[in-house]
Every structure is written in structure tokens, then in C-alpha cells.
Structure 1
């Protein structure tokens, strides 16, 4: 027993020494990356633009950003609108809707530039935050990025609930083509003491293919560490300026139907 304890102490000391040499301490982003199994590649139908139904609120009609503000200071959104398309203006930060929502159906179309550069998470990275709960990347993220022949961790590819659930399939079209999200969001419900009475649920289709099937979220998106909930009410929808050096991505045809 004494020999076993001594061996354990020696191994612990070696591990601590390695951590000291590498400068690593505490949780790392890599700890929550999942690489297997890889979702099957599915070829979707050709892209088409989906008009808003009669009872929808149009969040972007191709003309202006009246429905959007800067997440940081709630000033008018400063992304670029041209030729019916909304494009990230690097360095201006995330934008979010002026209006707050609880449960809804959302349609959003996005496009990775044909001349995209980089690889992995640095290739066309953005995010659709289904409920924005604060500055920066606070909230619940449905990942947007180029996942067409671009390897990365599966719970970080397009169609994933970032760092929580990998998509059921990879139906992403090539860069330069339009992609579409259709999402059903059921907001979390909190008790008076802030505890979770009912988690958030997400059903999502990417290019018409089911990628999230009424999954119960574990909490808000966390880049490092485990997701967790903090009590909140109705929240804006947010789009991310990820700040990558590669060409910025674009959006069109964004509309929402509030649900009970």
C-alpha cells in the first residue's frame, strides 16, 4: 500500500511538473471539443430564397437595419447593407434585434464568401444566438461557419449547438452558395429562485435537413468549461461578428413568427 501511495505521489508530481512546463492550468477550450463521430454528409436541394409568411415579422428585408442594434451599446447596427444583402462589417461587433422574444419560429439565410480563406474554426465563423443574454457572446449559439470539406470538432461545425450538440448531418453547400436555417426555439423557464423549471429546446433544419431534433440545452454557450443557465426573460436574437481575418459572411431573408 505504501509503495502504491508513493507511486501515485510520483505520478501526480510528474503531472504537475508537466503542467508547469507547458504553462497550462485550469480548463482549456480543447476540453469541450468533440471530434467523433463525424456527421454524415448529405446533399441538400438547390438553394432558394424563402419569403416570409403573412404573419411573420421581417427582421431583415434587404433594405435597412431598422430592426437591429449594436449588442455592446444598443446604438444603430453598423453592418453593411447592399444589393439586398446584409454583410458583417469587421470590428463593429455583434448585432441583435431591438425586439425581445420568447418562443418562436425563425428563418435566416447566410452565405460564406466564395473566396473564403483559412481553415477549421477560422473559416467563415459566425453565430446565430437564439437568445442573447448579455454583451459579447452571452446566450445560446447555433453555429454558422463553412463546414463544406472543412474539418473541425463536430460540436463546433455548422448546424451544431456550439460546444453542446453536434448536428445530425452535414448538409452544407459550397462557399458562395446560400445556406438556410429554420429554427424552432422554446425558451427556458425559470422558477422564482432562478432555478430551471424547464430547459430551452431547439429544433433546427439546415438547408431543409434536420440537424437538431428538439434537443434540451444544457445552458448558455460556453467556449471554455460547461454550459450553465442564468435566469433571464425574453431576449433579443443576435448575430456574431467573429472577427476572423477571412472575408466576412452575409445574410438575407430573416423573419420570425412568435409562438405561444
Structure 2
């Protein structure tokens, strides 16, 4: 008897749903407004779209400052390329960002030397929350036939997430990161409301799929959210290893 009642209920529900659909019109589920803003794409893949903020166009470092001093950035700009100046340290954007889409291209020297983490090490800090290497680092490293710990290779969220693949190009060729960054959100008392998230395409290959960061990246110890913060600059690292410095170009961001 119990099963008969359940079957009757299911059939009745299906009958009611079918009747409800009979009077439906296609326009009942059409949404017309508000229309998305018009964005003109770049002429080629990787070019900045019309609504992007260009952070480096190959001409100057007007959008960047020295992390430690807050003075104008002093990395090297030549022939449309930005090269790390290890003598001056990290640089970061003047502007702070919350959620965004980032495009950045980087290249290891063709005559790079060294092994493991001492081979063209740098980083893109998706949010810089202090001086030095404080923040959330997307690792930059020559990972082409260069063995190292896999949560510290190119494409990793440093010491947190191993990349899903290794599409690193040989030294001397340009690599590309396309990142979707969702900033962490904190409650009024400073506790974490929602963690930071990152999706990373590396040379067109998905290597981080909407991963939830465990906190700012750390060289030693477990990551954790220890203090609240709001929108933050994007930072580029001048790593202290002795290998030749790497270069960047075509850096732009779209606020989301």
C-alpha cells in the first residue's frame, strides 16, 4: 500500500508539471535586460581588450612602485620588455585590486643556469599584503626539464597547489599566464568569510582549477589566514637566487 501511495504521488506530480508546461511560452524564460557591457577584444589573442587596465605596455613603469620604499620602480625596460632588477627588490602596482582577470607573459633567459629553485625563480603575487614576499604567490620558474618539488614548480600556487600539467616552454621562449582571481572576504571581526580562489591557464593549459587558497603562501610552515585585508596590489618578485633575471611583457588586468 505504501508503494502505491508513493507511485500515485509521483504520477500526480508529473501530471501537474506537464499541465504547468502546457501554458508556458518561450519568452517566459528570456532575459533581455540589463545587457552586458560591450567589450572590444584585442586584435590578437593576448592583446588587452578595451576595458583592461594596462599595467605594462613595453614603454615605462608608471604603474609600478618599489615594494619596500614606495618609490618609483627601478627594473629595466628595453625593447618592450621588463627585466627584473635584483638589486632593488620586488615591485608592485600602484593600484589595488579585488577580483580580476590577469594576463602576464614571462621569459627565462636562453642561457639560464642553475637547478631546482635556483633556476630563474620569480613569482606573480596575485595579492600583495605586505613587504617582502607577503601575499599569494603564483610561482614563476624554469620548469622545462628542471626537477624540483612539484608544489614549487611553474604554475603552482606556491607550497599549496601542484599544477595539473607542466606546459612550460624552453628557456628563451615566452610563457603566458591567464588568471582569474577571486579575493578573500573577511567578516567585520577579521575572521575569514570566504577564501581566495584562483584559476590559472598556463600557455593555454588549465593548471589550477578554481582552487581555494589556504591563506597567503609561505616558504616555511602551513598557510593560514592570519589577518584581514581588502583589495591589494599585484606584485612581481625579484628572487634572491644567483641565476640570470627573468623578463616580463604584456601585462594587463580586468576588474571583475
Same fold (TM over 0.5): yes
Report if aligned partners of 1:91, 1:243 keep a CA contact under 8 Å in 2: no
Q: How does 1:154-169 map to 2 (within 5 A)?
A: 154-169=150-165
> Of residues 92, 97, 104 in structure 1, which corresponds to 2:93?
97
CA distance in 2, matches of 1:143, 1:90: 17
Are positions 1:52 and 2:51 aligned together? no
> Of residues 142, 149, 156 in structure 2, which corresponds to 1:146?
142
- What is residue 225 of structure 1 aligned with on the other side? 221
CA distance in 2, matches of 1:141, 1:58: 21
Are positions 1:236 and 2:233 aligned together? yes
CA distance in 2, matches of 1:249, 1:49: 23
When normalised by structure 2's length, the TM-score is: 0.82
SS of 1:155's equivalent in the other structure is helix
Work out the number of aligned pairs and report it: 212
SS of 1:121's equivalent in the other structure is helix
Are positions 1:65 and 2:61 aligned together? yes
- What is residue 120 of structure 2 aligned with on the other side? 124
- What is residue 18 of structure 1 aligned with on the other side? none
SS of 1:183's equivalent in the other structure is strand
SS of 2:105's equivalent in the other structure is strand
Query: Comparing both chains, which one has the higher relative contact order based on Cα–Cα distances under 8 Å and sequence gaps of 6 or more?
Result: 1
Q: Flag the structure with larger Rg.
A: 2
CA distance in 2, matches of 1:193, 1:73: 30
Report if aligned partners of 1:101, 1:236 keep a CA contact under 8 Å in 2: yes
CA distance in 1, matches of 2:54, 2:131: 24
Are positions 1:257 and 2:250 aligned together? no
Aligned-residue RMSD, C-alpha: 0.9
Structure 1 regions of 5+ residues with no counterpart? 1-47
Q: How does 1:2-41 map to 2 (within 5 A)?
A: none
CA distance in 2, matches of 1:91, 1:156: 24
Moved over 3 A (4+): none
Shift of 1:49: 7.1
SS of 2:117's equivalent in the other structure is helix
When normalised by structure 1's length, the TM-score is: 0.81
CA distance in 2, matches of 1:208, 1:228: 30
